[in-house]
Copies of this chain bind each other. A is one copy, B any other.
Amino acid sequence: MNCTELNMNREDDMKRPGIQRTAALLFVLSCFTGLAFSQSRVRQPFRIPTVPGYVLLKCDFHMHTVFSDGVVWPTVRVDEAWAGGLDAIAITDHLEYAPHEGDVRRDNNRPYEIAAGDASSLGLLFIRGAEITRKMPPGHFNAIFIKDANRLRVDDWRRSVDEAAAQGAFIFWNHPGWNGQQPDGVSRWYPEHTELLEKGLMQGIEIVNEKEYYPQVHQWCLENNLTLLANSDMHDPVQTAYDAAAGDPRPMTLVLAKTADEAGVHEALLSRRTICFWKGNLIGREEFLRPVFGGAFRLLKDTVTVRGTDWASVPVFNDSDVDLRLSLNGQADGLSVPRTLTCPANKVVRLSVQGNADHGTGERVVRIPYTVDNLWIAPGKGLEAEVPIYCRFVK
């Protein structure tokens, strides 16, 4: 039976003769056990502070269905995205690879057509896409914001990319370090990529695909001013691969859009305004990560009295759903401070400071030089964030 309808009704056998009232009560009790949250559709919002002037949209632009080599119906991708707190997705089934062809109609526009209605009722931005699936070079590319996926299914990969561009697509290179095409796991840049880049036909690259992050590719994006992307490339149901509640969330491309609609997402991607979310890390340009950190990391008290070499502390609130992990990268003038400070999402911790023997007296701002180890502005480089504390030093 259909579970949506189920919610509206309830077994009523207890009213019938032959079943005692006390028995019925027992069942009522039993029926409610564990039912509380089993409503079919619950959305877990994902809270990340935005960059002033933009709305931050949680997106995933790479996923599959039974229409290529995935194992779910297109509507599942919409349901999963809504439940997982996403704002925009693209289904991007392989154009050239259709292992279910004997059972499932080969039409690359169907996934979009089938799921568009659900996306619309849920208020999810649903972007038409497809994966151009070729041997390396140039490998796999996603084209999103297209109009007719089937017209991209042509023999020559250059013609396929050109057709995508002609349809107004945003085009990006998928998983350059995938061992299916890079047996030694090394991401390699071929002349074909230079060709695409120079023609404006490669506007971004996945620096994160599924469970992998490619530092070399991150560097390429910075050097060539390309859009950073982090996508799930899901084939299975989302819960088979990820468990956000257990600390293993799906990757997302966070898009800083001027407007919360398709056009806004498109413009933001073209303008390189993205942050990649992967395994609790945020990866992006410093100009975007700094305000995100500022919005999340909040001193609940900005003044502290430091008496001799006593301990004192400042409460810090992490007003986001992303844990923040800080480590010290220098000295704090007059204070001993923790070498590391972990601020769990949505919780308050104490930043404990101890006066140095020679801190003198008087009032001044002490800037504690921390690096945020899980906010990466370049491969291997965390965001530097000075934490200013107004100290009253007394004896």
Q: CB < 8 Å: which of B66, B235, B280, B373 contacts A2?
A: B235
Please, which residues of chain B bring their CB within 8 A of the CB of A380? 19-20, 22-24, 26-27
From A37-45, A148-156, A165-173, A285-293, the one touching the partner chain is A37-45
Which of B23, B37, B178 is close to A379, meaning CB atoms less than 8 Å apart? Answer: B23
Q: How many identical subunits does the complex contain?
A: 4
Nearest to A104 among chain B residues (CB) is B104
Closest approach, in angstroms, between the C-beta of A184 and any C-beta of chain B? 6
Q: In the complex where A27-B213, A73-B72, A213-B30 touch, is A339 in contact with B8 (Cβ < 8 A)?
A: yes
Q: Which of A50-58, A194-202, A260-268, A311-319 contacts B (4 or more CB under 8 A)?
A: A311-319
Q: Is A98 an interface residue (CB 8 A)?
A: no
Q: When chains A and B are docked, how far (Å) is the Cα of A281 from the Cα of B31?
A: 10
Question: Which residue of chain B is the closest to A341 with respect to CB atoms?
Answer: B39
Query: Are A325 and B76 closer than 8 Å at their CB atoms?
Result: no
Residues on B with beta carbons closer than 8 Å to the beta carbon of A13: 177, 185-187, 214-217
Nearest to A22 among chain B residues (CB) is: B380
For the complex, give the distance between the alpha carbons of A349 and B43 in Å: 6
Q: How far is the CA of A184 from the CA of B311 in the complex (A)?
A: 20
Residues from chain B with Cβ under 8 Å of A178 in the complex: 1
A76 to B76, CA, bound (A): 13
| A73 in contact with B76 (CB, 8 Å) | no
A38/B237 in contact, CB under 8 A: no
Tell me the complex Cα distance, A70–B317, Å: 29
A193: shortest Cβ distance to chain B, in Å?
Answer: 16
Q: Mark A307-346, 1 if CB is under 8 A from B, else 0.
A: 0000111010100000101000000000010110110101
Residues of B within 8 Å of A381, CB to CB, are 23
**Stretch from A240-248, A361-369, A386-394 that touches the partner:** A240-248
Q: Is A135 an interface residue (CB 8 A)?
A: no
Chain B residues whose CB sits within 8 angstroms of the CB of A344 once the complex forms = 36-37, 42
Nearest CB on B from A319, distance (A): 10
A236 to B1, CA, bound (A): 11
- CB of A121 within 8 A of CB of B312, answer yes
Shortest beta-carbon distance from A105 to chain B in Å: 5
Interface centre among A9, A102, A246, A313 (most CB of B within 10 A): A9
A34–B209 CB distance below 8 A: no
Docked complex Cα distance between A27 and B379 (Å) = 9
Interchain nearest-CB distance for A18 vs B (Å):
6
Q: A14, A18, A37 — which one has the most chain B CB atoms within 10 A of its CB?
A: A37
CB-based contact B4/A216 at 8 Å: no
Q: Are A211 and B36 in contact (CB under 8 A)?
A: no
- Name 28 A/B residue pairs within 8 A (Cβ), A-sorted: A4-B311, A9-B179, A12-B184, A12-B186, A13-B177, A13-B186, A13-B216, A14-B215, A19-B219, A22-B380, A23-B381, A24-B215, A27-B215, A27-B380, A34-B279, A34-B280, A35-B211, A38-B248, A39-B341, A40-B240, A40-B241, A45-B317, A45-B346, A45-B347, A79-B240, A102-B105, A104-B105, A237-B239
Query: Residues of A with Cβ closer than 8 Å to B?
Result: 1-16, 18-20, 22-45, 66-67, 69-73, 75-76, 79, 83, 100, 102-105, 107, 110, 114, 121-123, 175, 177-180, 184-187, 209-217, 219, 233, 235-237, 239-242, 246-248, 279-281, 301, 311-313, 315, 317, 323, 325, 336, 338-339, 341-342, 344, 346-350, 352, 354, 373-374, 379-381
